[in-house]
Amino acid sequence: MKSSLLRILALIQKEFLAVLKDPRSRFIIFLPPILQCLIFGYAASFDLNSVPYAVFDQDHSAASAEFLSRLDGSRIFRRQADLGRPEDISTWIDSGRALIVIQIGQDFERHLLAGEPAEVQVIADGRNSNTSGTASGYVQSTVEDFNASWRANHGDAGPPIRIIARSWYNPNLDSRWSMVPSLIGTLTMMGTLMLTAMSVAREREQGTFDQLLVTPFRPSEIMAGKAAPNVVIGMTQSTTVLLIAQFWFHIPFAGSFFVLYSGLALFLMAAVGLGLLVSSISATMQQAMLYAFLLVMPFALLSGLTTPFSSMPKFLQSVMVINPLRYALDITKRVYLEDAGFAQLLLPDFFPLSVIGLVTLSGSAWLFRRRLT
């Protein structure tokens, strides 16, 4: 056991030296996370295709039904649930099943008939700041249409409905609060997957792989030696983005660092497993980079970074259960902004990441042994 551990540590040292001496590897490790974090933090925006929402209607009147019918009749809003208790609001917002919740008070119709403003509260998920802001704007447009129709039918001069907007986890709907924490997982996956994918391919291309095979290292030790440095590098990249988020953009961290780094550790295991899987089937570094690029781009685009995951077609949502970045984004944003803990994240995020990591690492080890025989 001791000799095996010493061999793995020697291989880890060798891998670190190989990565740090390679100018391309140094470039991937240090420069992209800083530059892309700043670029995305200032320039990126979300698109909105549909708005899943829930309703807490305490009035259950003809007027509230007419107002809600205008939302349901649009091509944007999709009602997910009619809530029966105030406690259900946090459940639907926290789980991400509803981007906004429309709350209508008990005296909604009575205020309208009396010529008094009737308040409608719009509770938005501030973790998706741009989409929440856009969704609130759509609600405001619907309110203006309803007000115009109500004035035409009842002759009231004042606005019949008044919107009260409230954003959870991001009071000012600052897009950086949503984008920058998401980059903790996104940029880390890009760098880690690329470096891991090139590790074995680099050995083959430089002719040192055959020398490695005649050493006392067992295949499992070689895999461990290849994986461990990239996990450390991934943690370093994640910490870099986390520090930028807190000390450059001054985004307050609401959660637990232990929960965050536990999720990141599982995520990095899955990302390294994917990288080793790519590296095991690649003969050259060019092939490894191409295969890694083919994985990174769809994973990043279909992770929920640029558009809400719930707005994607059902088919793509089913396929993307294998996407580790999808779960990493949910973990980083919910821990960073919401103070989510293990109880909220264990089954929806931690468990799938564990399965992906186990499958990819086992598959890459099997392919690696197969290539040696």
What was the pLDDT predicted at 36?
62
Q: Mind listing the domains of the chain with CATH numbers?
A: 2-43+175-372 (no CATH), 51-168 (3.40.1710.10)
> Where would I find the beta strands (DSSP E) of the chain?
51-57, 77-82, 100-104, 118-125, 161-168
Q: How many CB atoms lie within 10 A of CB 103?
A: 20
Closest CA to 228 of 29, 15, 27: 15
Q: Are 204 and 296 in contact (CB under 8 A)?
A: no
| Encoded tokens for 33 | 């996370």
What was the pLDDT predicted at 259?
93
What was the pLDDT predicted at 210?
65
What was the pLDDT predicted at 47?
46
> Which residue has tokens 């920058």?
180
SS (H, E, C) 187-207: HHHHHHHHHHHHHHHHHHHHC
What was the pLDDT predicted at 5?
82
Instruction: Give the CA count within 13 Å in the CB-facing half-sphere of 363.
Output: 17
Instruction: Give the CA count within 13 Å in the CB-facing half-sphere of 189.
Output: 30
Cα separation, 211 vs 315, whole angstroms: 46
pLDDT per residue, tens digit, the chain (373 aa), is 777 788 778 878 877 777 777 776 666 666 666 766 665 555 444 446 678 899 999 998 988 898 899 888 877 888 999 998 888 888 888 877 888 899 998 888 888 888 788 888 999 887 776 677 778 888 888 888 888 888 877 766 566 777 877 777 777 667 778 788 888 888 888 888 888 888 777 777 777 766 766 677 777 777 788 788 888 888 988 999 899 989 988 888 988 999 999 999 999 999 998 988 888 887 777 778 878 887 887 888 778 777 667 667 777 788 888 999 999 998 998 899 888 888 888 888 999 999 999 999 888 888 777 766 5
What was the pLDDT predicted at 45?
44
What was the pLDDT predicted at 372?
60
Q: Are 296 and 189 in contact (CB under 8 A)?
A: yes
| Encoded tokens for 92 | 């639907």
Q: Are 339 and 256 in contact (CB under 8 A)?
A: yes
Q: Cα 129 to chain center, whole Å?
A: 13
